[in-house]
Structure 1
Amino acid sequence: MRIVAALGGNALLRRGDPLDASVQIGRIRAAVRGLAAAASGNELVITHGNGPQVGLLAVESATDPALRAPYPLDVLSAQTQGMIGYWLARELRRALPGREIVAVLSETVVAPDDPAFANPTKFIGRTYPASEAHRLQAEHGWAVRRDGAAWRRVVPSPDPRDIVELPTIARLVDDGCLVIAAGGGGVPVDPEYRGVEAVVDKDLAAALLAEHLAADMLLLLTDVPAVMRGHGTADARPIGQITPRALRAMDLPDGSMGPKAEAACRFAEHRRGAVAVIGSLTDVSAHLSGTAGTRIESE
């Protein structure tokens, strides 16, 4: 079976975690224990988020007095792909001795006229009190938005149209390599391969990657066991199976479950007979057997 697994931000950092490398490496080691089940006897491609890491580098770049201008987001995305890809590859080699593993720096093509550029919604970086968030907004020209009780920076998140390195990724998978690709949604570029000031949603990029690789399963791994009906209420209950039409009809939050649901729907609609699963990173074996998570399949 060919599987594309997208690791949510909780694979590296949980809300309130310090941004230290040692914390992220520990989270990756825990994630790899779950991913080893998906790798056994299967073709596996892994993608990952990078919102906290891009946000950290953006703050450092914006406040470094040695720089005349901060590094753009496409460059920061490339930096985080290298860092996280290295950590994942290293831990996967330890967990899967003898398996060929490679991290591919990936670029994702977006349209310059995508409406997302006029409406930044993608959270990156740490949370701030309102006063500090608005100070940073004034100092650096950032867009900020409330995230729960705190505030965070938001940036444009245009739709992924193509992945530049897709033919190379496909050849590596066909040759039996475990591939880490499209990390953080991929480095955003325009059709002329010029960097773009944005962060692509990693779940939507994973769905595009899974579709074009003709994957049998898309795993969207997060810190909740399933999509919940009545989320946040006393009557909340997990959804075991649902169609794209029914999932899209649910009112899911844009900043968390919404993009995962949309990614799952796109994949299920474009890959008839394949399945997308949204669920916990700790339940990978159960996702493969169909006994955990929310399964999204076309009617």
Structure 2
Amino acid sequence: MIDSDNRKPILLVALGGNAMIKKGQEGTAVQQRDNLKVTVRQIARLSQTHRIIITHGNGPQVGNLLLQQECCDAVPKMPLEILVAQTQGQIGYMIESCLDSELMAQNLNASPLVSLISYVVVDEHDPAFKTPTKPIGPVYTKTQAEAASWPFHKTAKGYRRVTFSPKPVTIVEKHEIKQLIDMDFIVICCGGGGIPVIREGRAFSGIEAVIDKDLASARLAVEVGADLFVIATDVKGVATNFGQKNQKILRTLTLADARKHMRAGHFPEGSMKPKVEAAMQFVGIPGKRAVIAFLEEIEQAVAGKAGTEFVA
């Protein structure tokens, strides 16, 4: 293991599912690769000055796998934690191959890349298991949602299927991830928030749930000693009165103001609220930076010129 003292700072970038599938798209492999180019172009350049960890969402992809299963009875149906593992491999491969191509295209010094299947421990007694709240899969109309047999919630984008979303307790592979970034690997991990597992003695067992990827990313950022945590999404930053005429993007946000705005209901459940909670958790540690920013402005966010910067 290489000593990490006096080396490049650690940057964790959490990519939303919209980094790969934009609203209105079918989500073909070509579309997902094309959408990734904007993001990985920035990450390639940032890898010259930072040690990089990439996490990512999987809501559309895991939802599509569930739909595929429901449309076919010829093969056994897999539990949700297996589908999360499948999307980790699928999306990790796409990010890794696109990033490798971009490093070569820019003629940059290329760090080795690795995609890691990641487990995340949750508490089987978490109250989140009483009510499904985490959106997965595509957007439905109200009529489609009312006709379906699954639980749905109305989100800012429309009606989406929801499942249980317990809080992450710890990342099982945190020590391996830390060793890899200390060896200057670019690590892609915790896809879709990680595979949710519960402890059974000294072993782990998968559980039917999806972990919020931003909360899992914040947990990982703390556990590996990241310096900067950037949540990249499809808006310019955190806003009050989102979607209304008096919407206001907040350039900086103190922890006290974040709590106040959260109590006032400015951050919707299942969209901006977990992002704000994740940023608050990380920036509560002295000397840490957390930014929520637009996918196309990751570099500017790292430079302190874009997004919503959280201030303790």
For residues 184-199 of structure 1, the aligned pairs below 5 Å read 184-192=192-200, 193-199=204-210
Identity %: 39
What corresponds to 1:291 in structure 2? 305
1:259 aligns with 2:274: yes
RMSD, matched Cα = 1.4
Q: CA deviation at 1:186?
A: 0.3
Q: Structure 1 CA distance, aligned partners of 2:194 and 2:289?
A: 23
Q: CA deviation at 1:148?
A: 4.5
Is the 8 Å Cα contact of residues 55 and 188 (structure 2) preserved in structure 1?
Answer: yes
Q: Structure 2 stretches of 5 or more lacking a match?
A: 1-8, 105-109
For residues 1-299 of structure 1, the aligned pairs below 5 Å read 1-68=9-76, 70-97=77-104, 98-137=110-149, 142-148=150-156, 150-192=158-200, 193-250=204-261, 251-269=266-284, 271-298=285-312
CA change 1:198–1:35 in 2 (3 A) is same
Match of 1:67, SS state, is coil
Match of 1:249, SS state, is helix
CA change 1:275–1:93 in 2 (3 A) is same
Q: CA deviation at 1:22?
A: 1.2
Q: Structure 2 CA distance, aligned partners of 1:21 and 1:150?
A: 24
Deviates more, 1:110-119 or 1:122-131: 122-131
Deviations 1:61-110 (A, max 9, x none): 12211135x21110000000000000001111112243201000001111
Is the 8 Å Cα contact of residues 93 and 99 (structure 1) preserved in structure 2?
Answer: no
Count matched residues.
292
Is the 8 Å Cα contact of residues 34 and 281 (structure 1) preserved in structure 2?
Answer: no
Deviates more, 1:187-196 or 1:33-42: 33-42
Q: Structure 2 CA distance, aligned partners of 1:285 and 1:24?
A: 21
Q: CA deviation at 1:20?
A: 1.2
Q: Structure 2 CA distance, aligned partners of 1:240 and 1:108?
A: 32
Q: Structure 2 CA distance, aligned partners of 1:229 and 1:146?
A: 19
